[in-house]
């Protein structure tokens, strides 16, 4: 697990996106680790956010084949 500090104007989903990109289920895992954060729409500046230890998926490039 990793602990990061929120900056001014951060929301939980923004913190998660900044560190993990678009992955399903990460915000829910963060809420399990930080249940009190569900009470905030915008996080307090400097507030600790515990992030789950998950493997970051590298985006795959979609290719389109015109001819077979």
Q: What is the pLDDT of residues 9-64, one digit of tens each?
A: 999 999 999 998 888 899 999 999 999 999 999 999 999 999 998 766 666 778 88
Which CATH number is 30's domain given?
3.10.350
Q: What is the pLDDT of residue 28?
A: 94
Domain that holds residue 39: 2-51
- The answer to whether residues 27 and 13 touch, using CB atoms and an 8 Å cutoff, is yes
Q: What is the pLDDT of residue 5?
A: 96
Q: What is the pLDDT of residue 42?
A: 96
- Tally of domains within the chain: 1
Q: What is the pLDDT of residue 58?
A: 61
Question: Distance between CA atoms of 17 and 68, rounded to whole angstroms?
Answer: 37
Residue 29 lies in a domain: yes
Residue 60 lies in a domain: no
Residue 34 lies in a domain: yes
Q: What is the pLDDT of residue 11?
A: 95
User: What's the pTM?
Assistant: 0.73
């Amino acid at each position: 697990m990793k602990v990061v500090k929120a900056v001014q104007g951060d929301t939980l989903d923004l913190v998660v996106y900044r560190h993990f990109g678009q992955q399903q289920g990460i915000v829910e895992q963060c809420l399990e680790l930080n249940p009190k954060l569900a009470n905030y729409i915008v996080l307090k500046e400097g507030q600790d956010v515990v992030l789950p230890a998950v493997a970051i998926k590298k985006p795959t490039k979609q290719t389109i084949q015109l001819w077979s």
